[in-house]
Structure 1
């Protein structure tokens, strides 16, 4: 189960965050000085990124968004685009929308995108052989939530993915065939139950966020397989001291009758999603977010995950995955409490990574 793909440290530069060509950027908030409420913040958000990864080479990308409010009592909504391109001719891109209205009691998320990823493995699926694959992907996701009681929501969600893995040589194709990892064409619908008492949707410092949802993948919805998945996710944010926050995250994913392409994977920082697979997964992460000054904070984190099913159990150390690391975050838009985070994570063996992201890890 535990492949030995070699993962090099990701390197990147994030500079000129929250740059807008159409309006003045937000003014930094001083510890002894209140922000000027009369100056309207820019509705535009542009986050350029440069990174180097073992799977897609050196890549440059962006997140561009436009912020707007549907009512005064709701979190700002955002529509935008994301994209990246690498020197290995890999690319990813998509359009997204995240909307809140009626005092945050109605919520809608939509994403549509796709891309092509060229992968180079030094030890593919534990075979001891190098391999090169090309992954083609198309995806669509939507979720609607409706508040039914104080901070309790119910909703529906749907997803469609067309994910094709092709080996770049005969040997790799044969390995993929034997492993049953030729991709998955799937469509699913599901239900969502959520509790959300977070003080902020972008970078919370207090409250609880709990989600339980399922996906029923069916051939009638455009897929090639009939299988089911159940997902649970619990997050709590505990403020302490001068802007410090202790956050922890517990999650799990369980599948029934899933093909290999629908298996669960390790989602901890420091590991490549899809590198290790099993029917079920559980994980826990803890992160201490220490406020340093003004817009800057330092993050210290650690986590553990287990992959199991098909006769494998968490009592076997080969099915356990550890991760730890450090990073930082910077508030790029104080009016919306939006942040960019940078993390370095170390997993077992050669697994490691450096991440630049819009928003927090959880």
Structure 2
């Protein structure tokens, strides 16, 4: 490997994990299905492991909480960031503790890395007490030098082009229940890029960014109409249910947008619990992102890793592929490694394709795949620390997440 991949927080956790726990917790694996000996074993997370090595008296099992908070400071290397320091946290709670139907979730992340990228990002999904309303937010503040490679699925490293910019994103949506698990509503989306500059293509050719339209500042400001179906109970680590979100976005000059342009996004996820005897899950994710008309700013076009949670395209760095429209499909098999659910694993595969420019025809399919490790960080909210190794075409590296990728 070209670089040593180090994730400090994982080394600490693995040390505590295997110091006397391997023999107790590793189950008997059946070759085909990752099934385990179903002896009664209490579920454990990192907090339990740390308590077990403290000198304090033995504690009784932690009672379930209405509010759970997880915080992970880390330093390490990923394909998208290079070497980075990171602080991630999520708060999970029931807005109506008496019902305990849907978990609300607020996730925040602060990152600084070797590419001088600074990122502050907050995602939130908050249900009202009666679950008649859901409030969805995506707020970001970035200082973000980013390598881009042009438009379409056929770009190569010869057209690598460093584009530097500052970025403010403010997305906020309010949805009203129509019937069980089905919601409809409106939102406001703002994408504001400023202080934009480019270094130029590595091969000194004219960049797609310049051909598409080079600007120092771009604004996309628009209203969204949303249709949401969500039968998942746990948004961080679902074991069953369906999530389907359709978003029509209309950016308008009178709202401050540089241009009038419209887009349509389909986000569909389905979770299959494979057996009543364990929590093994097959998860499926489809993301289709279309520019319907108009000319979105280059940096607002569909791109690898620029979905809401920044998780599409494991196997490729963020922004590796870009186009006016995008097709994406991913499948992931999630399974337990230890009987106490402290350790788990995943196997994933994805495929994406982007439209060419000029024109809108989709080009070749770009595959990605790989394995991943899951460490139970908070058993009450089912939050995992996720460490994946993604492999793409001429690209590979680590990807780290707090909570499942989708």
Shorter-chain TM-score range? 0.7 to 0.9
Q: 1:333 aligns with which of 378, 383, 402?
A: 378
Higher strand share: 1
Aligned residues: 341
1:33 corresponds to which residue? 42
* C-alpha spacing 1:351/1:325, structure 2 compared with 1 (3 Å): same
Matched, 1:361 2:405: yes
Matched, 1:116 2:143: yes
Aligned partners of 2:232, 2:123: CA distance in 1, in Å? 23
Aligned partners of 2:108, 2:210: CA distance in 1, in Å? 35
Matched, 1:48 2:73: yes
The two structures, once aligned, show a CA RMSD in angstroms of: 3.3
Q: Secondary structure at the match of 1:134?
A: strand
1:291 corresponds to which residue? 336
Deviation at 1:269, TM superposition (A): 1.2
Deviation at 1:131, TM superposition (A): 4.5
Q: 1:254 aligns with which of 269, 274, 290?
A: 290
Range with bigger deviation, 201-210 or 120-129: 120-129
Deviation at 1:253, TM superposition (A): 0.8
Matched, 1:83 2:102: no
Flag the structure with larger Rg: 2
1:263-302 matches, within 5 Å, as 263-266=301-304, 267-293=312-338, 294-295=340-341, 296-302=343-349
Deviations 1:282-314 (A, max 9, x none): 111111112222222210111112212644534
Deviation at 1:228, TM superposition (A): 0.6
Aligned partners of 1:265, 1:120: CA distance in 2, in Å? 12
Aligned partners of 1:275, 1:32: CA distance in 2, in Å? 44
Matched, 1:156 2:181: no
1:208 corresponds to which residue? 242
The answer to whether the 8 Å contact 1:197/1:209 transfers is: yes
Deviations 1:141-183 (A, max 9, x none): 1122222112111122221111243125799897342342546
Q: 1:106 aligns with which of 104, 127, 133?
A: 133
Bigger RCO of structures 1 and 2 (CA < 8 A, at least 6 apart): 2
TM-score w.r.t. length of structure 2: 0.73
1:14 corresponds to which residue? 9
Aligned partners of 2:355, 2:159: CA distance in 1, in Å? 25
1:237 corresponds to which residue? 271
- Residue ranges of structure 2 left out of the alignment (5+ in a row): 14-24, 26-38, 44-59, 305-311
